[in-house]
Structure 1
Amino acid sequence: MVYVPFVSSLGKRKGGGKGGGKASGSSSSGGTSGSSSSGGTKGSISSGGTSKTTTTYGGGTSKVSTIPSGQLFAGRQTGGGTRTALYGSGYPIGYYPGGVYHHGVAGRGFPFFFWPLVWGSTAGFGAAYLWASILDYGSPNNGSRPGGPEMQMRIESPNAAQVYHIISDRDTVGAMVEPLQTACPDINNQPLLPIPFDGSSGQPKPELAIQYYRASSVALTLNNYNNTASFSDDESLPATPLPSGIDLAFLNCLNTTIGAAVQQQAFWMMCVALLVAVRNAW
């Protein structure tokens, strides 16, 4: 059974399970491309004034640093997020290392280097925490966003009974095409196609979000879900339960695949590079 916050009584989830397969071939979407091998689809982002190598199935890093002066968000901390801390909740808050859960993402650091996603100016009337995130991180199409402007990807369950969307930056969404199609072959609308996300009318809204990942920089939405608590700044309000009759096996496949494969810093690559440098020095 899939664990979704406020719905299931299971403990905190970890990546893996059915979505543990590796990508192969190549991945290209939205004008960017990444090489792919048994280690996953690789990419590069600029965050905090430095370049970071990312990869699907990357483990992240426990190292924390401070963004230097002269850079966007100077003084905030980056790093410290590993894949075991990747799952968040049903609100745009995410799981921050140390177990911090609060409504809203404005003013926070970047444990996974990626910025939290924003929902656009038409989302969340009456919820100050949603507006604060727009003031902090700009619109969904902000070109300064690590990984590129936000994108969305429609995912249909078998027979199109339920419609999901994954929303994140361009590179993250593009890199998830192959892992999802490989691990969840019952997806009805293959091949998956990322398209731009700007939060305009007809696009997914925050009340549809059933799960956030990677410190709220990735969201999974369900079209017939309506979490009315997302419109409030009251953190004590419970989220609306998932609708009955959904294909939980399919949802579990999406959830575990995203948790296992979504791009993170390729910390192991830095370790390999260091070992090679030491070897060559001898």
Structure 2
Amino acid sequence: MHLPLDTAGISSQRLVRRKGGTVKYRKNTGLDAPKNVPMPNLPLGRKATAYGGGGGSPVFLPSGEPFAGETAGGGTRADIYGTSAYGSGYPSARNGSRGAVIQPNLPYFFWPVVFTNPPSSAVRQLDLGEQYGPLDNSSRPGGAMAEAHFLSNNTGSIFHVLADNGTVSSLITYFTANCSHNLDVAASSTAPAIFDNSNVTSGPAAQPWEAVQYYRASSVVLMLDGYNNTASLPSGADLALLNCLNKTIGFGVPLVNAGSHVIPLDIWCLLCSIMSAYLLRRLV
């Protein structure tokens, strides 16, 4: 299986699997085996696995959890790719629809990333703090939002990955192992950093318009420093590193496993039907 990044028309096209390509990606057998990742705030009975497949039946989130009564889960690795548009990376026809992030729709349990934007920002609609809490909301699955940066040793391109703290921490390990041929390891992140994009005029903080690719129901985003995704990728961008980072996310970003102590939707509906029939018989 090969997941190269199609850099032609990247702002409007969804990534798809295909054969071929020249991505420099060093597979490390031990690292690429499915591995449980520490991930706070997941419902009881759920674990996150790097290089896992996800899937399983959607469940109702239990009482006492954020978004209790809403459904979550069921998303698989086959559907994690979106586009550079916020609201993409969702399974089925909702991929690319911003409505998917406004209403709780959590096919991977993880919440969409949020940005803090000034009133003049053209992308201020990405500020969903009222829905998913501020940037430092520690009740997110995986913990508060964090970022990491990765510097090319060929062109000086700086890429950012933004997600929850647990996901960023996991990806740093795999980026360092898989992409070291194109990566300036000494100048790249070795641990997640607190994310704060409130300064839009200076500094290295990643900004919404720098998004190259969203993943996992817009809960992970790969960004290129200085990029404006209404235009083509700059000629000096390190496409080899970009492709390696993308492929590593595609294969390895943590997904929540299918096992659960929470009642799946189909069984819940069956139990409700049985209970309704029983109560109806008692009333007649």
TM-score by length of 1: 0.76
After TM superposition, the structure 1 = structure 2 runs for residues 150-165 of structure 1, keeping only pairs within 5 Å, are 150-159=145-154, 161-165=156-160
Q: Secondary structure at the match of 2:185?
A: coil
Residue type at the aligned position of 1:225:
Y
Residue 176 of structure 1 and its aligned partner are, at CA, apart by 1.0
Question: Residue 117 of structure 1: which of 97, 113, 118 is its match?
Answer: 113
Residue 126 of structure 1 and its aligned partner are, at CA, apart by 4.2
Q: Secondary structure at the match of 1:176?
A: helix
Q: Which residue of 1 aligns with 2:280?
A: none
Residue 224 of structure 1 and its aligned partner are, at CA, apart by 2.1
After TM superposition, the structure 1 = structure 2 runs for residues 217-256 of structure 1, keeping only pairs within 5 Å, are 217-227=219-229, 239-256=230-247
Q: Which residue of 1 aligns with 2:268?
A: none
- Evaluate the alpha carbon distance shift between residue 19 and residue 61 of structure 1 in structure 2; reply closer, same or farther with a 3 A threshold: farther
Question: Residue 263 of structure 1: which of 254, 260, 263 is its match?
Answer: 254
Question: Residue 174 of structure 1: which of 159, 169, 173 is its match?
Answer: 169
Residue type at the aligned position of 1:165:
H
CA distance in 1, matches of 2:26, 2:45: 27
Residue 124 of structure 1 and its aligned partner are, at CA, apart by 7.3
Residue 77 of structure 1 and its aligned partner are, at CA, apart by 1.7
8 Å CA contact retained: 1:164, 1:222: yes
Residue type at the aligned position of 1:199:
N
What are the ranges of 5 or more consecutive residues in structure 2 without an aligned counterpart?
261-284
- Evaluate the alpha carbon distance shift between residue 11 and residue 74 of structure 1 in structure 2; reply closer, same or farther with a 3 A threshold: closer
Question: Residue 184 of structure 1: which of 175, 179, 185 is its match?
Answer: 179
CA distance in 2, matches of 1:63, 1:18: 36
Instruction: Give the aligned CA root-mean-square deviation in angstroms.
Output: 2.9
Residue 167 of structure 1 and its aligned partner are, at CA, apart by 0.7
Residue 50 of structure 1 and its aligned partner are, at CA, apart by 3.0
What are the ranges of 5 or more consecutive residues in structure 1 without an aligned counterpart?
25-35, 228-238, 272-282
Residue 70 of structure 1 and its aligned partner are, at CA, apart by 4.4
Q: Which residue of 1 aligns with 2:196?
A: 198
Q: Which residue of 2 aligns with 1:130?
A: 126
CA distance in 2, matches of 1:166, 1:117: 11
Residue 10 of structure 1 and its aligned partner are, at CA, apart by 7.5
Residue type at the aligned position of 1:195:
A
8 Å CA contact retained: 1:112, 1:265: yes
Residue 164 of structure 1 and its aligned partner are, at CA, apart by 0.4
Compare the two structures and name the one with the higher strand fraction.
Answer: 1
Residue 147 of structure 1 and its aligned partner are, at CA, apart by 0.4
Residue 20 of structure 1 and its aligned partner are, at CA, apart by 7.4
Residue 211 of structure 1 and its aligned partner are, at CA, apart by 0.5
8 Å CA contact retained: 2:154, 2:238: no
Q: Secondary structure at the match of 2:248?
A: helix
Question: Residue 57 of structure 2: which of 45, 50, 63 is its match?
Answer: 63
Residue 55 of structure 1 and its aligned partner are, at CA, apart by 1.6
Residue 89 of structure 1 and its aligned partner are, at CA, apart by 1.1
CA distance in 2, matches of 1:208, 1:106: 21
Residue 12 of structure 1 and its aligned partner are, at CA, apart by 3.5
Residue 140 of structure 1 and its aligned partner are, at CA, apart by 1.1
CA distance in 2, matches of 1:19, 1:87: 18
How many aligned residue pairs are there?
245
Deviation per CA, 1:33-90: give whole Å up to 9, x if none. Answer: xxx894335223324x435211210111141122245432133220121000011110
TM-score by length of 2: 0.76
